[in-house]
Structure 1
Amino acid sequence: MRIAFLMAPEGVEQVELTEPWQAVRDAGDEPVLISTKSGRIQAFQHLDKGDTFPVDDVVSHVSADSFGGLVLPGGVANPDALRMDEQAVSFVRDFFTQGRPVAAICHAPWTLVEADMVRGRTLTSWPSLCTDIKNAGGTWVDEEVQICDQGNNILVTSRKPDDLPAFCRAFMREFGRAMV
Structure 2
Amino acid sequence: MKKRIFALLTMVCLAVSLAACGGSATQEETTSDTTAETTTSSDASDSDLLSLVEFFAADGEEVQSMLDAMLDAMLDAMQAQYEDQGISVNLYAEVYEMHYNFTIDSVVTTEETRPELTEALKAGTEASATSYYELAKTVKESVSNDVVIVVLTFFDGEGNELYTQSFSSAEEAAAE
TM-score of the superposed pair, with normalisation by structure 1: 0.25
Greater strand percent: which structure? 1
* Greater relative contact order structure (CA < 8 Å, 6+ sep): 2
Greater helix percent: which structure? 2
TM-score of the superposed pair, with normalisation by structure 2: 0.25
